[in-house]
A = this chain, B = another copy of it.
């Protein structure tokens, strides 16, 4: 059996549950673009797969950017005059403006409000806000809770530190038969947001476990890095090796009921773009496929013109378009094992294409070969499957001219790649198809 072939059917029944539970374990941690939240998260992933962690000191120049000071937080709250905590970081780490400077101050409600972020249109949700590059302190809370606060003095306490330290990212590599790499990347910088962070980290970890069990043709590099600055840092430190990256996916928001959404790489017609479009066409009819745009997740960096890597982006609901996006509504209720499993299967199907797409040559190209005498031509009758398998064989033979890969053929035939691949395998066994180098001998 060729490396990577035919494993898709072997997906564990409970894969969605496994991913969900790992996402749930990551969910409570207060992550940011630096700090111990990232380290703890990578530690959890490291219990499932080997994670190589890199620490890059504050102040390091990475292309046009500088690694910022490291942020950590021990706690935060707002107390009213009666000593009651009206907002508390222990309830949700979203309550603190991410990267907030430390503060300990007593101030009247009106002054406090200048440091409070809410969403008036969604009065029951706490927003997720950050201030990485402008020093500022602040709290986030529901608009309804803010409106319920009586006049009076409040004590605001943020027990955070912003000091020289380092930025942390993690990698996991699976060596395949070839040095050609598939880059799979998820951001690890969002605090308690289940879909927009935890889902991607958990899915990639379980995917890495699965691929680790296979003998693959391609190598796989998993990157768990803080958004933007983390991807930039990785690229700055690995510029020379980027030429090995032949395919890639940035993923996030892989656990909700929406979409799915695939955004093409900047190249637009890379094999990953065609593979994802093919898989979605057959396995996710509601999918939306979008052209590249320079806004989004870390495909922005991988697809910057100086790299222009063939890296697409996958989400279920597109960022910014679902009401829970960047709010406390993006919690463990928003994601579900079935959606995580669906996303996971889509990736495996796309990986099957990356692994197995190939050109084969018809050794009997003048007229159709007599399939019947070889027992290859299934009885058609009412068996739709047999008819499809026969059509797949006819297509692979007809386009087995050295000009068409199996994915080309699957697209032209309108059949799933797996069906075409299986037909090709049968015809290879019968020596009616051979690899181009064999055909030349």
A residues lining the B interface (CB < 8 Å): 62-65, 133, 228, 231-232, 235-236, 239, 266, 291, 293-295, 300-301, 303-308, 362, 364-370, 372-373, 391, 394-395, 397-401, 412-413
Q: Report yes or no: B294 in contact with A367, Cβ–Cβ below 8 A.
A: no
Contact B305 A365 (CB under 8 A): yes
Nearest-neighbour CB distance to chain B for A368, whole angstroms, equals 6
A366 lies within 8 A of B304 (CB)? yes
Residues from chain B with a CB closer than 8 A to the CB of A228 are: 368
Bound together, the chains give a CA A235 to CA B369 distance in angstroms of: 13
Number of copies of this kind of chain in the complex = 3
How many whole Å from A183's CB to the nearest CB in chain B? 15
Nearest residue, chain B, Cβ from A303? B398
- Contact (Cβ within 8 A) A366 B397: no
Contact residues in B for A365 (Cβ distance below 8 Å):
304-306
**Interface pair A235/B303, CB less than 8 Å apart:** no
A236, A293, A366 — which one has the most chain B CB atoms within 10 A of its CB? A366
User: Which of B305, B394, B398, B412 is the one whose CB lies under 8 Å from A398?
Assistant: B305
CA distance A340 to B391 in the complex (A): 31
* A294 pairs with B394, CB closer than 8 A: yes
Minimal beta-carbon separation of A392 from chain B (angstroms): 10
CB A222 to nearest CB in B, in angstroms, measures: 20
Question: Are the CB atoms of B305 and A400 closer together than 8 Å?
Answer: yes
Complex-state Cα separation, A398 to B394, whole angstroms: 43
Chain B: minimal CB distance from A410 (Å): 13
In the assembly, what is the distance between CA of A346 and CA of B378, in Å?
A: 37
- Do B398 and A367 have beta carbons less than 8 Å apart? no
Given contacts A266-B398, A395-B294, contact A367 B133 (CB under 8 A): no
Bound Cα distance from A291 to B395, whole angstroms? 13
CB-based nearest B residue for A403:
B305
Evaluate whether A63 and B266 lie within 8 angstroms (CB atoms) in the complex, with A305-B399, A305-B401, A399-B305 already known. Answer: no
Docked Cα-Cα span, A372 to B232, in Å, equals 15
Question: Which residues of chain B have C-beta atoms less than 8 A from A291's C-beta?
Answer: 412
Question: Which residue of chain B is the closest to A242 with respect to CB atoms?
Answer: B366
Q: How far is the CA of A295 from the CA of B388 in the complex (A)?
A: 11
Partner of A133, one of B235, B306, B362, B372: B372
Q: Are A364 and B397 neighbours in the complex by a CB distance under 8 Å? A: no
How far apart sit A62 and B369, CA to CA, in the bound complex (Å)? Answer: 10
Contacts of A395 in B (CB 8 A): 293-294
Closest to A414 in B: B293
Nearest B-chain residue to A233, judged by Cβ: B367
Asked if B235 contacts A304 (CB within 8 A), the reply is: no
CB closest chain-B residue, reference A300? B368
- Taking a contact as CB atoms under 8 Å apart, the answer to whether A367 and B401 are in contact is no
Task: Supply 15 further A-B pairs (C-beta < 8 A) apart from A63-B367, A293-B391.
Answer: A62-B367, A64-B369, A235-B366, A235-B367, A266-B398, A294-B394, A294-B397, A295-B391, A301-B368, A304-B367, A305-B362, A305-B399, A306-B365, A307-B366, A308-B401
